């Protein structure tokens, strides 16, 4: 092909290309001066849809086929709606119903913490106010203070409930404690045991009526300043007085739904479980603290729990608490201290502790109150000389306090431990186990062995009980190194070492 031919071919190709562009853009015109229809315009004409007019719609809507379709759709809609409603009703009816929560007061919701000697605890009432943050970390619901009033031993004429012993603090310091405690959700109970320095709490039998009159007046006075309850010793003596009902009325005359209930707390010692139960039923007391757990006879402890478990809303438990002694006075090792902490927090009733129980504070010499130990979290400075035994004791106290807080936190959250039913599983002279159950909540088994030898506990429920035990449960908390937390154990039997305790957990299965 020669050069002229190549040039002609290129011109033809260019002309064809320009023609294509004109057709696409619609620039070329047809004969008669009209433009050729563009591709874009043709596409728009093809997709345009105006729909049916009103007249056409009305004509179609009235046809037999559409009327029949509308009725079918309407019937299907209502059948579906009725079916869903019926299904919801069946689910509600067949679903297990939740039991109503039993009435609870603030003293049922957490432990009570006794400070009988404000000076030994932290330099008087002012020191108590300064340590309220530490107390609040223990998740306690009530602070029991005193006695603080002035009296000379065995001399009723010197009794003055409205004067605070100057060695313990001032009235202003007490009201400061009340104000700060209430801000933290802690209620304050004042111990008004009259002759707390003497031989008998109520002086003599002939003095009881007159002294109760003074207690009644004192209760009115301290309630007006913000105290949330009063505590007295020898409840069995005081409640036999003809004037007892007047004191009860003063404490409980504000029992309405809109007001915080005040607590009337009584202490008894040396009484059987049956007699404690009788006092709870007949005296109108809100909370009764006994020394039944102090017994060295394991059978007494077990029978007491079996007898009083149904009255748990008005029962308080402590080891040494009736005498305001530290738990360590009877629980002589750190292992036993943790064992009794676990037992107290999981028993049916309100646990009561004396200051220092959370760290295993040892009891004082004779009648002297032990000094509280603070700043246990503070580690020795780097490079400083360290006494190994002192440091080991500090770490032990830290661990014991963490154990205490974990139990207190668990009890406050779990309904089975707060107000669940109590079922005995196994008991011996030195061991005890029981089940706590509430409705559809997690279930808990407490097993403790306070003896000096290992013991195998076989869990058995009475045939008449409505609950059942699963084959296995999970270890929630344990002092026994052979029972690690979160491991699964068989509920056929469990072996505990001497002075060991375990808390087991298993779910509600319907």
DSSP string of 336-363?
HHHHHHHHHHHSSSEEEEETTGGGTPPP
Other CB atoms within 10 Å distance of the CB of residue 463: 5
Predicted pLDDT of residue 24: 45
Residue 244 lies in a domain: no
**pLDDT of 1 higher than 90:** no
Predicted pLDDT of residue 433: 96
- Answer yes or no: are the C-beta atoms of 151 and 194 closer than 8 Å: yes
**pLDDT of 339 higher than 90:** yes
Give the least confident one: 145-159, 293-307, 466-480, 483-497.
293-307
Mean pLDDT value of segment 317-342: 95
Determine how β-strand 263-267 pairs with β-strand 229-232.
parallel
Predicted pLDDT of residue 255: 61
Predicted pLDDT of residue 93: 72
Average pLDDT for the chain: 88
**pLDDT of 141 higher than 90:** yes
Predicted pLDDT of residue 32: 43
Residue 104 lies in a domain: no
Predicted pLDDT of residue 416: 97
Q: Could you read off the pLDDT of 156-181 as tens digits, one per residue?
A: 999 999 999 999 999 999 999 999 99
Shared domain check, 493 and 431: yes
Shared domain check, 70 and 8: no
Residue 327 lies in a domain: no
Predicted pLDDT of residue 345: 98
Q: How confident is the model at residue 66 (pLDDT cuts 50, 70, 90)?
A: confident
**pLDDT of 54 higher than 90:** no
Predicted pLDDT of residue 465: 73
Q: Cα separation of 223 and 161, whole Å? A: 13
Q: What percent of the chain has pLDDT over 90?
A: 72
Predicted pLDDT of residue 380: 86
Predicted pLDDT of residue 282: 95
Mean pLDDT value of segment 13-38: 46
Predicted pLDDT of residue 464: 73
Shared domain check, 59 and 32: no
Q: What percent of the chain has pLDDT over 70?
A: 88
Predicted pLDDT of residue 26: 46
What does the block give as tokens for 396? Answer: 């032990």
Predicted pLDDT of residue 256: 61
Mean pLDDT value of segment 89-94: 76
Tokens 């017994």 belong to which residue?
295
* Highest mean pLDDT pick, 16-20, 35-39, 284-288, 302-306: 284-288
Q: How far is CA 85 from the centre of its chain?
A: 37
Predicted pLDDT of residue 5: 45
Predicted pLDDT of residue 421: 95
Query: Taking every pair of C-alpha atoms in the chain, what is the biggest distance, in angstroms?
Result: 148
Residue 456 lies in a domain: yes
**pLDDT of 353 higher than 80:** yes
- Answer yes or no: are the C-beta atoms of 315 and 308 closer than 8 Å: yes
Strand partners of residue 239: none
Q: What is the CATH number of the domain that holds 496?
A: 2.60.40.1180
Among 128, 133, 221, residue whose Cα is nearest residue 177: 128
What does the block give as tokens for 210? Answer: 């007159």
Domain boundary among 94, 125, 157: 94
Residue 463 lies in a domain: yes
**pLDDT of 21 higher than 50:** no
Q: How confident is the model at residue 98 (pLDDT cuts 50, 70, 90)?
A: confident
**pLDDT of 197 higher than 60:** yes
Residue 486 lies in a domain: yes
Residue 171 lies in a domain: no
Other CB atoms within 10 Å distance of the CB of residue 200: 15
Specify whether the backbone of 467 is left (phi greater than 0), alpha (psi in -120 to 50) or beta.
beta
Is omega for the bond preceding 455 within 30 degrees of 0, making it cis?
no
Question: Euclidean distance between the first and final Cα of the chain, in Å?
Answer: 97
**pLDDT of 42 higher than 70:** no
Of 305 and 101, more confident: 305
User: What is the domain extent for residue 26?
Assistant: 3-47
pTM score, whole prediction: 0.82
Predicted pLDDT of residue 12: 44
Which helix (H) or strand (E) is 277 found in, with range?
helix 273-282
Q: Cα separation of 93 and 85, whole Å? A: 12
Mean pLDDT value of segment 60-78: 82
Q: Could you read off the pLDDT of 417-469 as tens digits, one per residue?
A: 999 999 999 999 999 999 999 999 999 999 999 999 999 999 999 887 788 99
Radius of gyration of the chain from its Cα atoms, rounded to whole angstroms: 40
Predicted pLDDT of residue 500: 96
Residue 157 lies in a domain: no
Helix 54-61 / helix 64-94 crossing angle, nearest 10 deg: 70
Q: Cα separation of 383 and 167, whole Å? A: 41
**pLDDT of 33 higher than 80:** no
Domain boundary among 94, 122, 150: 94
- Answer yes or no: are the C-beta atoms of 135 and 180 closer than 8 Å: no
Q: How far is CA 157 from the centre of its chain?
A: 45
Q: Could you read off the pLDDT of 376-400 as tens digits, one per residue?
A: 998 888 878 888 899 999 999 999 9
- In the chain, how many domains are there? 3
Shared domain check, 429 and 499: yes
Predicted pLDDT of residue 344: 97
Shared domain check, 70 and 9: no
Predicted pLDDT of residue 31: 42
Mean pLDDT value of segment 319-330: 95
Among 404, 326, 313, 389, residue whose Cα is nearest residue 363: 326
Q: Cα separation of 216 and 505, whole Å? A: 46
Shared domain check, 497 and 429: yes
Predicted pLDDT of residue 36: 47
Q: Could you read off the pLDDT of 242-276 as tens digits, one per residue?
A: 999 999 999 988 666 667 899 999 999 999 999 99
Q: Is 210 exposed, middle or buried (0-12, 13-18, 19+ CB in 10 A)?
A: middle
Give the least confident one: 54-63, 310-319, 500-509.
54-63
Which strands form 431-437's sheet, in the order they lie side by side? 421-427, 431-437, 443-449, 500-506, 472-478, 488-490
């Amino acid at each position: 092909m020669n050069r002229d031919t190549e040039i002609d071919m290129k011109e033809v190709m260019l002309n064809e290309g320009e023609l294509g562009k004109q057709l696409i853009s619609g620039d070329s015109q047809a004969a008669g001066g009209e433009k050729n229809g563009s591709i874009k315009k043709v596409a728009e004409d093809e997709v345009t849809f105006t729909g049916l007019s009103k007249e056409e719609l009305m004509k179609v809507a009235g046809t037999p086929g559409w009327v029949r379709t509308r009725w079918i759709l309407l019937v299907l809609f209502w059948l579906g709606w009725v079916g869903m409603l019926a299904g919801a009703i069946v689910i509600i009816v067949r679903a297990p119903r939740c039991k109503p929560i039993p009435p609870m007061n603030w003293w049922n919701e957490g432990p009570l913490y006794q400070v009988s000697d404000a000076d030994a605890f932290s330099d008087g009432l002012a020191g108590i106010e300064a340590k309220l943050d530490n107390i609040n970390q223990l998740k306690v619901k009530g602070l029991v203070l005193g006695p603080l009033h002035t009296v000379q031993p065995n001399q009723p004429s010197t009794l003055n409930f409205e004067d605070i012993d100057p060695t313990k603090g001032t009235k202003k310091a007490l009201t400061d404690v009340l104000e700060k405690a209430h801000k933290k959700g802690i209620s304050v109970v004042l111990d008004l045991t009259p002759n707390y320095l003497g031989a008998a709490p109520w002086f003599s039998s002939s003095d009881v009526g007159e002294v109760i009159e003074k207690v009644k007046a004192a209760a009115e006075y301290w309630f007006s300043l913000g105290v949330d309850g009063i505590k007295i010793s020898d409840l069995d003596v005081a409640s036999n007085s003809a004037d007892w009902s007047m004191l009860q009325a003063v404490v409980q005359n504000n029992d309405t739904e809109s007001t915080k209930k005040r607590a009337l707390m009584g202490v008894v010692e040396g009484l059987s479980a049956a007699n404690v139960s009788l006092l709870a039923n007949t005296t109108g007391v809100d909370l009764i603290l006994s020394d039944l757990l102090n017994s060295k006879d394991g059978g007494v402890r077990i029978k007491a729990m079996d007898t009083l478990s149904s009255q748990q809303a008005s029962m308080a438990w402590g080891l040494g608490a009736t005498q305001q002694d530290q738990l360590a006075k009877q629980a002589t090792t750190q292992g036993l201290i943790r064992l009794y902490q676990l037992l107290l927090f999981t028993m049916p009733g309100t646990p009561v502790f004396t200051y220092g129980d959370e760290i295993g504070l040892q009891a004082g010499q004779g009648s002297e109150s032990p000094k509280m130990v603070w700043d246990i979290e503070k580690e020795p400075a780097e490079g400083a000389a360290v006494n190994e035994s002192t440091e080991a004791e500090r770490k032990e106290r830290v661990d014991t306090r963490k154990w205490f807080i974990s139990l207190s936190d668990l009890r406050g959250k779990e309904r089975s431990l707060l107000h669940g039913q109590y079922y005995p599983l196994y008991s011996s002279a030195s061991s005890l186990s029981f089940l706590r159950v509430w409705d559809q909540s997690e279930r808990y088994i407490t097993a403790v062995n306070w003896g000096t030898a290992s013991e195998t506990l076989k869990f058995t429920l009475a045939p008449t009980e409505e609950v059942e035990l699963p084959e296995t449960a999970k270890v929630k908390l344990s002092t026994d190194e052979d029972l690690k937390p979160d491991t699964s154990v068989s509920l056929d039997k469990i072996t505990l070492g001497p002075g060991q305790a375990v808390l087991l957990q298993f779910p509600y299965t319907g």
